[in-house]
Amino acid sequence: MLSSFCEWGVLEATKRFNGMFAFALWDKAERILHLGRDRIGEKPLYYGWCGHTFIFASELKAFKVHPDFQPEINRDALATFLRFSHIPAPYSIYKGIYKLPPATLLSYGGARNVHPEVVPYWSAKKAAESGVSHPFTGSETQAIEELDTLLKDAIAMRMVADVPLGAFLSGGIDSSTVVALMQAQSQQPVKTFSIGFHEQDYNEAQYAKAVAQHLGTDHTELYVTANEALAVIPKVPSLYDEPFADASQFPTFLVSQLARNDVTVSLSGDGGDELFAGYDRYFWGRTIWQKTNWIPQTVRHSTAKALTSISPQAWNQSFAAVNTMLPAKLKVAAFGDKLHKLASILSFTNLDTIYASLVSHWQAPEEVVIGSSELSTVLSDRNLWASLPNFVEGMMYLDLISYLPDNILVKVDRASMGVSLEGRIPFLDHRVVEFAWQIPLSMKIRGNQSKWLLRQVL
């Protein structure tokens, strides 16, 4: 990186980087501080003012050592947290402290109490719009071969390490693809790790084990008890430094802890859902809207209210007996959770509100946090939305620039770094991201099957 900065300058060098990073560069000659963050937001970087001192760090807790730091809670950020279960960039839980957004540079020349300008060096919006307007025109076979080649290279780059290397394996399409392409390029069995649950509705360990056996990896699995999950709770404040309420932070920490016993670097399959249309909401949103928007709003609202009057857990228990009698293809995991999502879609008044409702955990947070006002985010500012012709692609784009960096990547980074494990994510190689946007939606969703193209690679 230093050689690149010297050769091309900060902006042009950063455009050439491929991978995850957060850096601070002090230009001694020009007396300018440069801060930079990777394109998708894998690594964190915070900054702000502490009295007359400009401060920055990769963890919020670092600011507390400064004698003038006054950690005042940002109540507006707290309200926004209640909606999303995380605090989205560029905000933090503290007033005056910000997250540097992904794919941006900040340069500060020393003027007191000036908020430095944040400059983008890459645009997810342009990548999405350009990809959709200039789609891949080759055959399906060529698309499969192209993605296969691209992913192999992205994974090979992230397998370069002078320390023990492994991978998280859930048994799903994304992690299985990463591990399969790792094993294809490794002379030794790849070390893989998975977490299992005794509660069958949430357990995927048997799929991970089957994939590991098929590929011949050196597999380790741990079945987690409720007490082991509860034991993680006291660690959460020091891991995340600010409110973060994604329940999967617990298994993510536990699988990181498990992997760290044997390896120092672990690859994961995060990003596959956002790039190749893997989330249920991509199927449900438009389909259910098209089939139910003719029903009077009062009827839809009362139906949604009736469905949500019973907890997801109670629905799961009621449906358990039916589930055992269904053929494998018709079985529904976490039936109650899916039914509650269906109910939220039924209560929508128009298509534009579908995504915001699906990702909102509290619909009216200002009623809970007294004296607060929700902060402007990518979801409330339509000027930040990409101009895409398809509603599903619009949801995928919003996930890529909000849910992925502010939730998924925060979870993976903090959980892994909390046990001194480096997590690497091949799907977020910007070449893969840009190619994924060129792939027509018909090659991502085929009938009722998600991630069609990625499944062919696997």
Give buried/exposed letters for 63-99 (b at 16+ CB in 10 A, else e): beeeeebeeeebbbbbbbbbbbbbbbbbbbbbebbbb
pLDDT in tens, 149-196: 999 999 999 999 999 999 999 999 999 999 999 999 999 999 999 999
pLDDT in tens, 420-454: 999 999 999 999 999 999 999 999 999 888 999 99
At 320, is the pLDDT very low, low, confident or very high (cuts 50, 70, 90)? confident
pLDDT of residue 425: 98
pLDDT of residue 316: 83
pLDDT of residue 289: 66
List the single range of 42-51, 153-162, 269-278, 361-370 with lowest mean pLDDT: 361-370
pLDDT of residue 144: 98
pLDDT of residue 285: 66
Total residue length of the chain: 458
What is this structure's pTM? Answer: 0.89
Distance CA(328)–CA(315), nearest Å, equals 19
pLDDT at 329 over 90: no
Backbone angles phi, psi at 420, to 5 degrees: 60, 40
Question: Which domains are seen in the chain, by residue range?
Answer: 2-120 (3.60.20.10), 124-458 (3.40.50.620)
Strand pairing class (191-197; 165-168):
parallel
Which residue has tokens 């309200």? 79
Whole-number average pLDDT of the chain: 92
pLDDT at 306 over 90: no
At 382, is the pLDDT very low, low, confident or very high (cuts 50, 70, 90)? confident
Distance CA(412)–CA(429), nearest Å, equals 16
Average pLDDT over residues 226-250: 94
Backbone angles phi, psi at 96, to 5 degrees: 80, 0
Average pLDDT over residues 98-115: 90
